[in-house]
Amino acid sequence: MNTDHAYTRKILSAFEQISQIPRPSKKEQKIVAWLMNWAIENGLEAKTDEALNVLIKVPPSSGYENSQTLVLQGHMDMVCEKAKGFEHDFDHDPIELIYTDDGWLTANQTTLGADNGIAIAMAMVAATDDLIGHPPLELLFTTDEETGLTGATSLQPGFIKDKQLLNIDSEDEGVFTVGCSGGEDARLSLPFSANESLSDHSAFKLMAGGMSGGHSGIDIVEQRANAIKVIFDGIHRLCQQIDVRISAVNGGSARNAIPRDAEAVLLMPSADLEIAHSIIAQLHNKLRHKYRKTDPSLRLSLVSESGDHKAASAETTRRAIDTVFAYPHGVVEMSSDITGLVETSNNLATIKVENDKLVILSNQRSSDMNSLAQLCDRVMSVARLAGATGETSGGYTSWQPNMDSKLLARCLEVYENRFGKKPVVEAIHAGLECGIIGAKYDGMDMISFGPTIKNPHSPDEKIEIESIGKVWDFMVALFESYQ
């Protein structure tokens, strides 16, 4: 690691400790216990609630006794994505960190968890370093942000006391986030029975992989390939010329990650294998060209599959194809107020066969709650037309920008004085806990910022080491402004 910043090493040391502790969404018990023990060891008051959110109170430094309290907030859980074929148990294995020669920190074929472990690490150093001054701090670490923001949703009145909150969960240094989209999940269940024995058909596996994936909010504007859409494009083209039946299908891994891999077990006449390979090879070449900039490693292949497999009927196979084709994915509408900002989008996230059902999960986002409701209605319309059942859940509100925020004005002044330039102020097409926290605590003044993180929610996630020091310098200068 190459850094000459005095505090970057301390922050990364804390992050290395955090990375040793498994913390998948909904399974944060180990990190909660570790943080509570850390608070005790450092003589800090700490508590948890029923959702396992953690609040640690940090007394003010000398000279800051009469300063307003600041809430430093981040989430404990991480998206658990790994490269296809790589062995890693997120419930038990630590994250293997890799420091690159060009100044980044990444992980060995898994998500890094800098989203949002770096917030915890920075808050820990701020709370325990005697060489910096700071106002009273409340460290708020929430659970299950990545699969529904349920930790923030479960916060009760009085759990946090103050009215100024720094959310350290944005991913571009020099950018202040002051607004975010709302969101809602959808689940569609289509009747799907694979119980036909076809003696004149053989089993094959159609595999799509190597796609870039990424964050379903931040990266959706890139129009990257969706592995589920790719696999069904292949099945559709095969069905146009061959009697192909679906036996099983599986794709995607998380509601808020663009699917990178998908596969389907198919039954087709062995005599048609040559034409099947030709169809898939042609589609592979077309997709490689179409996504040459966004997904240069995209691959699509057809291989023989061993074992005894039963098939869905031709009608069921066709209905599954039509349902996926009709299901929305990608940017639905761009903002008319902010150039380049996605207003509304949908992520067709996962698909699998279970209990004689083809189950599809998706995540809808919008900064306009009416547009979000319309998109959810659209998804439910697809369900009804397909003869499926559909339900939505996990809804959360958007965070509307407050350009008259006193905290924003203070942060803008501090940043410009510290770095000699103005930061970017923006809203993002992603869900942040600020929307929920603001709705629960009336009058909460909030801002979100953080070090530069690329490719979150994918095994390519990495954090720029130099940006960690810059964010730290800004935070310290902001603390000093409260003296």
In this structure, the answer to whether residues 192 and 122 fall within a common structural domain is no
Residue 352 pLDDT more than 60? yes
CA 173, CA 127: separation in Å to the nearest integer?
22
What DSSP assignment string belongs to 102-142?
Answer: TSEEEESSB---HHHHHHHHHHHHHHH-TTS----EEEEEE
Residue 254 sits at φ, ψ, to 5 deg, of -150, 150
User: Any bridge partners for residue 393, and if so which?
Assistant: 185
CA 165, CA 170: separation in Å to the nearest integer?
14
Domain membership of residue 3 (yes or no) is no
Residue 75 sits at φ, ψ, to 5 deg, of -110, 150
In this structure, the answer to whether residues 344 and 463 fall within a common structural domain is no
Helices (H), 298-350: 314-326
CB 310 within 8 A of CB 197: yes
In this structure, the answer to whether residues 329 and 439 fall within a common structural domain is no
* Cβ atoms within 10 Å, residue 16: 15
Digit-coded pLDDT (tens) for 279-309: 999 999 999 999 999 999 999 999 999 988 9
* Domain total in the chain: 2
CB 415 within 8 A of CB 173: no
* Cβ atoms within 10 Å, residue 140: 26
In this structure, the answer to whether residues 278 and 375 fall within a common structural domain is yes
* CATH number, position 297: 3.30.70.360
Digit-coded pLDDT (tens) for 190-201: 999 999 999 889
Residue 57: enclosing H or E segment and its boundaries?
Answer: strand 54-58
Per-residue model confidence (pLDDT) at position 338? 84
Residue 2 pLDDT more than 60? no
CB 349 within 8 A of CB 327: no
Q: Determine the longest span between alpha carbons in the chain, in angstroms.
A: 83
Q: Return the residue matching tokens 């925020």.
A: 405
CB 381 within 8 A of CB 279: no
What mean pLDDT is reported for the chain? 95
Q: Which amino acid is at 123?
A: A
Q: Return the residue matching tokens 């571009």.
A: 172
* Residue 480 known to be catalytic: no
The token pair at 417 is 């004085």
Domain termination site, one of 396, 421, 444: 396
The whole-number average pLDDT for the span 208-237 is 96
**Which among 28, 77, 138, 233 is annotated as catalytic?**
77
The token pair at 113 is 């968890």
In this structure, the answer to whether residues 144 and 252 fall within a common structural domain is no
Helices (H), 259-356: 273-290, 314-326
* Residue 77 known to be catalytic: yes
In this structure, the answer to whether residues 404 and 380 fall within a common structural domain is no
Domain termination site, one of 396, 426, 454: 396
Digit-coded pLDDT (tens) for 88-105: 999 999 999 999 999 999
CA distances from 467 to 236, 237, 417 (A): 46, 47, 17
Residue 431 pLDDT more than 90? no
Digit-coded pLDDT (tens) for 266-277: 999 999 999 999
Q: Return the residue matching tokens 């603001």.
A: 438
In this structure, the answer to whether residues 158 and 224 fall within a common structural domain is no
**Which among 81, 115, 144, 145 is annotated as catalytic?**
145
Per-residue model confidence (pLDDT) at position 1? 47
In this structure, the answer to whether residues 434 and 299 fall within a common structural domain is no
In this structure, the answer to whether residues 91 and 156 fall within a common structural domain is yes
If we measure between CA atoms, which residue out of 234, 232, 220 comes closest to residue 279? 234
Domain membership of residue 1 (yes or no) is no
Domain termination site, one of 367, 396, 425: 396
Per-residue model confidence (pLDDT) at position 339? 86
Q: Return the residue matching tokens 């007394």.
A: 59
User: Any bridge partners for residue 110, and if so which?
Assistant: 82
The whole-number average pLDDT for the span 20-32 is 98
Query: How many CA atoms lie less than 13 Å away from 419 in the CB half-sphere?
Result: 23
Q: Which domain holds residue 233?
A: 186-396
The token pair at 467 is 């940006």
If we measure between CA atoms, which residue out of 366, 374, 362 comes closest to residue 328? 362
Q: Determine the Cα angle at 27 with ends 25 and 28, to 5°.
A: 90
CA distances from 87 to 81, 82, 337, 373, 378 (A): 11, 8, 45, 39, 38
Q: Return the residue matching tokens 């036996």.
A: 247
Residue 3 pLDDT more than 90? no
Percent of the chain predicted with pLDDT > 70: 99
Digit-coded pLDDT (tens) for 108-139: 999 999 999 999 999 999 999 999 999 999 99
Residue 321 pLDDT more than 90? yes
CA 143, CA 150: separation in Å to the nearest integer?
7
The token pair at 439 is 């709705």
The whole-number average pLDDT for the span 390-416 is 94
The token pair at 333 is 């509408």
Angle between the N-to-C axes of helices 227-239 and 314-326, in degrees from 0 to 180, rounded to the nearest 10:
140
Per-residue model confidence (pLDDT) at position 4? 65
Digit-coded pLDDT (tens) for 360-375: 999 999 999 999 999 9
In this structure, the answer to whether residues 322 and 457 fall within a common structural domain is no
The token pair at 53 is 């959110």
In this structure, the answer to whether residues 120 and 130 fall within a common structural domain is yes
Residue 446: enclosing H or E segment and its boundaries?
Answer: strand 445-448
* CATH number, position 34: 3.40.630.10
